[in-house]
Amino acid sequence: MAEKTPVRGRDILLLKEGEIVLKGLNKRNFEQKLISNVIRQMKPFGAFRIYAAQSTVYVEPKNDFCDMDGAFEAAKTVFGVVQVARAVACDKDKDVIFQTAKNYLGDALSQAKSFKVESRRADKQFPLNSIQLSQYVGGLLSEEYPHVPVDVHEPDFTVSLEIRDYAAYVHGKAEPGAGGMPLGTGGRAISLLSGGIDSPVSTYLAAKRGVSIFPLHFFSFPYTSELAKDKVIELGKQLTKYCGGMTLMVIPFTHIQEEIRDKCPEAYFTVIMRRFMMRLARKAADARECGGIVTGESLGQVASQTMEAMGATEACAGIPIIRPLICSDKEEIVRIARKIGTFETSILPYEDCCTVFTPRHPRTKPKMDEILEAEANLDVEALVEEAFAGMEKIRLE
């Protein structure tokens, strides 16, 4: 217990665990992964002592040089955390708790229009129950700040008190965390990353379920410009805020698209192109021991995203296709893109390979026998091997 005794009087962070609290005997494994992810996120902001107890991860600065503002913002991007609070620890004594609340939250209280005190007593040995502690501290604070009325229903400011095993903790309102499951607990997947709005969002949502991401982009120079590739690199960098460091794989796709254009019926350009993408994604997945492929497909959004078209393309994958956006409309997708900070980059006017050689009248319900007949005009295996051999790898930190 001594090693987890918190330092009194210094700002710390309380990260409340989400779904992993339901994991029973496996909870510790998920918690250890969460702690390692928090350690990684905190590194740029100083030296911290990080540990977990009672479904909370504690982030305590080891010295006065830590950037607590930066650490607080970074903690809100860690998947597996549902709430983040900036708090201070004190002894488990009702009068010490009051004094700590007054000193730590006094500025906010003095400016509030109303307040209330909420208490949680995880340590049942503490002599006051939650209601009694709230009433005691709330009464003293009301005397200290007589101009700030108590409002237990819709307060302008809430003083939160937590009585835990190692100390009492005082904090203001907790802010939402990223939610989901700790990164690395949901397997590994290749994520097809274009320059559009959808694929960064689907990548984010897959990572939110604990999936370790390996992004893959198809590049069709000179039909798409270097600026289009730079745009995707920037999107990947923006996603590292949530997904951690990644290596972006860029596969040259020009020759494949030219062969499809020259040797296949125009109506099948898109579906055959998508089938090549799946073959290459599967090859990348095998090389990186990934169990799935993440796409940004949304049912019915474009001609290649009908049930029939998606069935035809996924037949080439041989591993699960993860489609986080399959039942989302564009408004919902845009809302998430804005939230995670990728929207403004996604709408930059640099098109990706999916806009190259777009058929005038694509088949929305392609027939497999017709697809196979068209692909018979192509040396599929040679084209895949050639494209894969030309892969460029770009590290994103």
Per DSSP, the residues of 73-99 read HHHTT-TTEEEEEEEEEE-S-HHHHHH
- Is there a single domain that holds both residue 127 and residue 268? no
Is residue 180 predicted with pLDDT exceeding 80? Answer: yes
Average pLDDT, integer, range 144-159: 96
Q: Is the pTM of this model over 0.85?
A: yes
- Is there a single domain that holds both residue 52 and residue 132? yes
Q: Give the largest CA-CA distance in the chain.
A: 85
- Is there a single domain that holds both residue 170 and residue 234? no
Average pLDDT, integer, range 105-131: 95
Are 259 and 357 a contacting pair, CB within 8 Å?
no
Residue 388 is encoded by which pair of tokens?
Answer: 């894969």
- Is there a single domain that holds both residue 250 and residue 344? yes
Examine residue 385 and state whether it is found in any structural domain, yes or no: yes
Half-sphere exposure (Cβ direction) of 352: Cα atoms closer than 13 Å: 24
Among candidate residues 124, 149, 176, the one where a domain is terminated = 176
pLDDT value, residue 37: 96
Average pLDDT, integer, range 349-376: 84
CATH of the domain at 335: 3.40.50.620
- Is there a single domain that holds both residue 163 and residue 236? no
Among candidate residues 115, 142, 176, the one where a domain is terminated = 176
- Is there a single domain that holds both residue 144 and residue 57? yes
Q: In this predicted model, which residue has the larger pLDDT, 144 or 8? A: 144
Examine residue 220 and state whether it is found in any structural domain, yes or no: yes
- Is there a single domain that holds both residue 169 and residue 194? no
Average pLDDT, integer, range 215-227: 92
For β-strands 188-192 and 115-121, DSSP reports them as unpaired
pLDDT value, residue 233: 97
Is residue 3 predicted with pLDDT exceeding 60? Answer: no
Residues 293-338 pLDDT 10s: 999 999 988 878 899 999 999 999 999 999 999 999 999 999 999 9
C-alpha dist (Å) from residue 72 to 3, 53, 119: 23, 19, 22
Examine residue 155 and state whether it is found in any structural domain, yes or no: yes
Q: In this predicted model, which residue has the larger pLDDT, 116 or 165? A: 116
- Is there a single domain that holds both residue 11 and residue 105? yes
Examine residue 108 and state whether it is found in any structural domain, yes or no: yes
Average pLDDT taken over every residue of the chain: 93
pLDDT value, residue 1: 38
Among candidate residues 109, 142, 176, the one where a domain is terminated = 176
Query: Could you tell me what percent of the chain has a pLDDT over 90?
Result: 87
Is residue 286 predicted with pLDDT exceeding 60? Answer: yes
Are 169 and 122 a contacting pair, CB within 8 Å?
no
Q: For residue 359, what pLDDT band results from cuts at 50, 70 and 90? A: confident
Residue 272 is encoded by which pair of tokens?
Answer: 């055959």
Examine residue 313 and state whether it is found in any structural domain, yes or no: yes
- Is there a single domain that holds both residue 230 and residue 170? no
Residues 34-85 pLDDT 10s: 999 999 999 999 999 999 998 999 999 999 899 999 999 999 999 999 999 9
Examine residue 261 and state whether it is found in any structural domain, yes or no: yes
Is residue 391 predicted with pLDDT exceeding 60? Answer: yes
pLDDT value, residue 175: 96
Q: For residue 6, what pLDDT band results from cuts at 50, 70 and 90? A: low
Name residue 146's amino acid: P
In this structure, what are the phi and psi dihedrals at residue 175, rounded to the nearest 5 degrees?
Answer: -105, 155
- Is there a single domain that holds both residue 152 and residue 192? no
Examine residue 218 and state whether it is found in any structural domain, yes or no: yes
What's the number of domains the chain is made of? Answer: 2
- Is there a single domain that holds both residue 117 and residue 229? no
Examine residue 181 and state whether it is found in any structural domain, yes or no: no
Residue 73 is encoded by which pair of tokens?
Answer: 């913002």
Q: Return the bridge partners of 57, or none.
A: 15, 52
CATH of the domain at 147: 3.30.2130.30
- Is there a single domain that holds both residue 145 and residue 271? no
In this structure, what are the phi and psi dihedrals at residue 240, rounded to the nearest 5 degrees?
Answer: -65, -20
pLDDT value, residue 107: 95
pLDDT value, residue 354: 67
Is residue 2 predicted with pLDDT exceeding 50? Answer: no
Domain containing 147 equals 2-176
